[in-house]
Chain A
C-alpha cells in the first residue's frame, strides 16, 4: 500500500493547505485580473494567480513556490532535507514557458531587438535544478502529459515504490501562468469570460490558474491517505477534447477501480476533472453515468477555487481534496448553479461530511490523456 505522508501547496488561495481548505470550506473565489505580465490583447482576463512571491534563496518564482510547498509537505511527513536524498523526484507540468517568456521580456527591455525565443532549456530543467538544490540522488524525472502530468507522476511514483526502487517519492505539480498559454486557449475560444462554472448549464470555458503542490509518497506507512488504484489511457478521438460519449473516460475510471480492487458502489465521492468547457463536462458526465450506472456518487469539481492549473492540477487538486477530507468535509463545486440537461447530473453545492473510505479523482487532458486515481481516507 502506498501512503501519502505529506502534502503542501501554494495557490491563488494562499500558501499552505490550511488556507486552501479554508477557501474551500467557505466556497470563496480566489481569482483576480491577471497582473503578472502584459498580454497582446485588450480583454480583461481573470486568472487564479499566486498573489505573493515567497522568499527563496535564489532562482525563479517557480523554485521558490515549489520549495515553499515542499517545506510544508516535509514537515507533515517528518522529513528533513537529508532524508530526502534517496527519494525519487517526479515533477508534472505542462512546461515552463513562463520562465522563457520572462527571459524574452528581459532581453527586450535591455534593448535586444531580436531576442532568442525559448532561450531556456526544455521542461526537464526545473526538476534537475531543484533536485540538485535539494541534494536528491534518486531518480529525477518530468512528466509532461498536459493536464494529467502530475497525476501521472503519482502513478509513476506508485509503481517505483511497489517495485522497491526507491524509499519514497516526492511528487511536484508546478504550473506558472504564461502569455502564450493564455493566448492559445483564447484562440481556441476556451477561456471563460465569467469564471469557471464546472458542469453548470451556463458554463463557457476554463479559467487558468497558477499552482505548486507537493505530495510525499512512501510505502507501508501509517497515514490517513493512501493511493489504492490508478489508470492512464489515451483517447485518440481528438487532440483537444475527449470523446463526448464518455466511453474512454468510463474505461479509465473502471481501470482505476479494478486496480484498487473495489467496485463502483464503494466510491464515496468523486473529484471530477470539471474544466467548465462545454464538451469536456458532457464527456465526463457521460463517463460517470456509464461507470456508476444510475447511482453516481456525490461529486465535486475544484477548478472554481484554484483555476485550471494544467500540469499541476493532478497534484494541487489531490492536495486540496485530501486537505478537505482530512478536515472532515467534501468541498462543494463553486461556480455551479444550474444543471445542464445534456449532462443530467450535478455536483454538490454545499460541503458534505467526509466518511472514511474510497474516493476517485479524475484528470483528463489535451492529447486525449486520461487518468483516474482511487485514494482512500481514514
Chain B
C-alpha cells in the first residue's frame, strides 16, 4: 500500500453567477441567477475559440483558467484534471430535446450534440490549459465535487499523479420550475450557478492551504448523525484555530443548528448566499475561502447531504497570507 502524503492547495478560484471572481465583487443573490454571457471574460483568459461551446463549458474553462493564473509556479504539464458536474450541459441538451423529440425533421445541430457530450467541458479545460494528462469527469449529484476531490486525493496519495486540478461547474436554466425538477430545490432556495477550482500538489512550497479530508459519514438517526459529524470535527477544533462551517444546500436547518449548538466554537459561513444552489456549489464554497486574506490559519468544513440520506464532509486548512 502506498504511503499517504499531505495534499496541498496551490491555488483556488471561483466564478460566481454575477461573473464575480473575487470576494470584493460578490453580491448576495436577491433572486434566481440568470446565465450571463461569459465571452468577454473568457477572452481575458484564453485565445481559444470557444464560440461554439456552450455556457456550461465557458463556466468550466473560465474557472479553471483563473485558478491556473493564480498559481505561483508554472502549471505542471502532468497535472490531471478532475472535473465535476451534477447536471452537465443543460441548455444545449434542452435544445436537442426540442430538435429530436418535438420535430420531425431529424435535423440536429452537430455543435449542440458535441457540446452535450459528457467529456466536452473537461476536454476544453485541458485544451485551454495545454494539458494532455489524465482527464476525468465525475457526475454524482450533490456530491460531484466531493467525489472528484476524493478521487484526486486517492490518485495523489497513490503517486498516480503529482498535481491535480479539481473543479466543479453547473449552469442554471430557466424556467425555474423545469430546473427545480432536475435539482430538487425548495421554494425558498435560490437557483444558482458557478465554477470553483483548486490546484493541488504534494509539495508545500507556495501552498495556500491543505486538504485535510474528504469523508463520507453514516448515521441513521439525527442523534447518530450529529455524533458522527462531531467525532470528525472535534479532533480539529481542539487545535484552537478559527473554524467555519460551510453548509451545503441540502444540509437541513435543524442539522445546522444542532451542529452549531454542539460545537459553539465554530462559525457559520453561508456561501450559498452568493452563488445560489447547484450541485457543485461545494466547489464554489470551498474555493472561495481562499479569496480572503488572513493573519491566522483557519479551518473550513463543508458538509452536505444527498437525497438518499448520505453525508459528505470536506475539510480544508487555509494558511495565513
Contacts and interface: CB of A to CB of B under 8 A. Distances in A.
A234 interface: yes
A162 B2 CA distance: 7
Classify chain A's interface size.
35 or more
Interface stretch (B9-17, B87-95, B253-261, B266-274): B87-95
Interface in B236-282: 279
A117 B98 contact: yes
B181 A119 contact: yes
Most buried by B among A40, A122, A368: A122
A98 to B, nearest CB: 12
B136 interface: yes
Interface residues of B, number: 72
Interface string A240-259: 10000000100100000000
B19 interface: no
A145 B122 contact: yes
B131 interface: yes
B212 to A, nearest CB: 16
B69 interface: no
A153 B4 CA distance: 22
Contact of B123 (A163, A179, A368): A368
Given A104-B101, A122-B279, A234-B134, A140 B140 contact: yes
Interface stretch (A180-188, A209-217, A346-354): A180-188
Interface in A80-108: 94-95, 97, 100-101, 104-105, 108
Contact of B147 (A100, A122, A141, A248): A141
A24 B302 CA distance: 50
A95 B88 contact: yes
B123 A139 contact: no
Contacts of B87: 118, 121-122
B127 A236 contact: yes
Given A143-B138, A180-B100, A234-B134, A186 B123 contact: no
9 A-B pairs with least C-beta separation: A367-B119, A41-B106, A184-B113, A117-B97, A144-B118, A234-B135, A367-B123, A236-B127, A124-B140
Interface of A: 39-42, 94-95, 97, 100-101, 104-105, 108, 116-125, 127-129, 131-132, 137, 139-146, 148-149, 152, 156, 159-160, 162-165, 179-180, 183-188, 232-236, 239-240, 248, 251, 311, 365-369
6 contacts: A118-B93, A145-B119, A233-B133, A311-B118, A366-B123, A369-B119
